[in-house]
Amino acid sequence: MWAYDLRSSKDFALIVVSIATFTDVFVYGLLVPVTPFALEERIGVPKSDIQFWNSMLLGVLGGSMIAAALVFGAVSDALGRARRWPFICGLVLLGAATILFMLVKSLAAMIIARAFQGFATAVCFTLGYAIVSDHFTQAGELGWALGFTTTSLSLGWFLGPIVGGIIYEHAGYYAVFAPAVLLVLIEIVLRLLLIDPIRTPSIASETFDETAAVFNNVAETTPLLGKAPHPSVQRNAMVVLMQSPRFLMSMFGFCTMNSLMVGFDGVLPVYLKELFAFNSMQVSLTFIALTVPSLLSPFFGNLSDRFGTKWPAVAGLVMGVPGLLLMRLVTENTQKDYIILITLLVWIGLSFAVALPAFSAEVALVVESIEERNPGIFGPDGAAAQAYGLTNAGLGIGFAIGPIGAGWVRVQYGWPVMVTALAILLAVAVPIVLPVTGGPLFAKREEDLEVEGAEQGL
């Protein structure tokens, strides 16, 4: 009995999802410091083209994320809360991508491996966040839970480059992938052990058929000019969500922050190699500064639960602007420039830790509010996975445009112009996000803007 209770508990579900997000990002991070060297040494890419292909590979990953996130979100919600096998398929695909990347000896094969990795990332993130949303349904706990998953994500982002760089430097290319394959196998076992929650009747499922029937009966007996009750008829979840201003802002926020994060992943290793003549291990150790602040993500997620998502989301965007502008100073191979770089990377990493849990929680809050005010609109199985599928499509857009755009600007105009462009991106995002995220700026939190936007399309 205790084993069943453990396997079906929300804490175990959070552990499983957190390990999955850690594993996915760890595998991604392993390759960040290694890829520029692998392109040159294994594939034979000329030094002048390394920046282009390093960024392009991340763009391929982003493109495949977009397609897979939309498909698997819809498939998962169609299966209700039985998300086990789609999730396991994603993990198997991640393992296949890892092995393919390990064996790759051509640029085409490396592109295919990155595409597989993008599909796997979309599945793990989309279904993982949906599983957390399924289990953490009480008020005031979702932001904390998503902050915990953000921490695991950031730990993978933190440890992946370090482990990858050190192993590559001391044990060679093939050894880099051993911890990745082991982690994938462990996560598959854990996901098999996790028991999905039984869907208990909720407002949406209890009233879905009843309210639709009432509306139909009223429609038959009410004059054309009369005012009928508001229907709660099931609609396409993606259409409803895309009509929500708050949901669009959460997608936009994810896309913006991810463009910045992955833009650095595409450019910083190459820039460190060129400016400071760093090897893969030195590149990986530099990334510690960018990822350590993410350990504070649960704390900032808790703030989102207590005070709303608006101000943490906006604060994270605002914090990143001065940090990026000051990075214009890092242009010489000196100790002073490196110290400045490390300090600014810590500050920018802190901005990620502040903003990302808020944007994550906002997705679930939007879905919950729409369902509460429009019972049955998403049908008996809800729309959590489709919501996170759309959000991860936003992440995929960030993966696609961030590294390609940042890499192109750095090659064409240099490092100072590139970091300035990223700062402008965050600065422009602030007035866009501020009035909408977390509800209207000068209204009570319960007056949810996304409901108004959704109802206008009903």
> Would you say 147 and 129 are in contact if contact means Cβ atoms under 8 Å apart?
no
Report the predicted TM-score, pTM, of the whole model to 2 decimal places.
0.72
Instruction: Say whether 332 sits in a helix, a strand or coil.
Output: coil
Residue 202 lies in a domain: no
- Expressed as residue numbers, the domain containing 327 is 2-196+235-456
Q: For each of the chain's 458 residues, which pLDDT tens digit applies? A: 677 788 888 889 899 999 998 999 899 888 888 888 889 888 998 988 888 898 889 889 888 888 887 777 666 656 555 677 888 888 999 999 999 999 988 999 999 999 999 899 888 887 887 788 778 777 567 667 776 787 787 788 778 888 888 898 888 899 999 999 999 999 999 989 988 776 544 444 444 444 344 334 433 444 444 444 444 566 777 788 888 888 888 889 888 988 888 888 888 888 998 899 988 888 888 888 888 887 788 788 788 878 888 989 999 999 999 999 999 999 999 999 999 999 999 999 999 889 988 888 888 788 888 888 888 787 766 676 677 778 778 878 887 888 888 889 998 999 999 999 999 999 999 999 999 888 777 655 444 444 445 545 54
Residue 372 lies in a domain: yes
Residue 205 lies in a domain: no
Instruction: Please give the pLDDT value at position 373.
Output: 82
Residue 245 lies in a domain: yes
> Would you say 54 and 39 are in contact if contact means Cβ atoms under 8 Å apart?
yes
**Biggest alpha carbon–alpha carbon distance for the chain:** 81
- Concatenating the DSSP letter of every residue in 405-426 gives HHHHHHHHH-HHHHHHHHHHHH
Q: Where is 216: in which H helix or E strand?
A: helix 203-221
Quick one: tokens of 289? 């500064």
Residue 310 makes CB contacts below 8 A (sequence gap 6+) with: 358, 434, 437, 438, 439, 441
> Would you say 429 and 316 are in contact if contact means Cβ atoms under 8 Å apart?
no
pLDDT digits (tens, 9 = 90+) for 179-226: 999 999 999 999 899 887 765 444 444 444 443 443 344 334 444 444
Q: In this structure, what CATH number is given to the domain that contains residue 107?
A: 1.20.1250.20
pLDDT digits (tens, 9 = 90+) for 231-276: 456 677 778 888 888 888 888 988 898 888 888 888 888 899 889 9
Tally of structural domains, the chain: 1
Measured CA to CA, the distance from residue 29 to residue 24 in angstroms comes to 9
Residue 305 lies in a domain: yes
User: Percentage helix, strand, coil, to 5, in the chain?
Assistant: 80, 0, 20
Residue 218 lies in a domain: no
Residue 215 lies in a domain: no
Residue 212 lies in a domain: no
Angle, helices 178-193 vs 84-103, to 10°: value is: 170
Buried b / exposed e along 272-285 (16+ C-beta atoms within 10 A): bbbbbebebbebbe
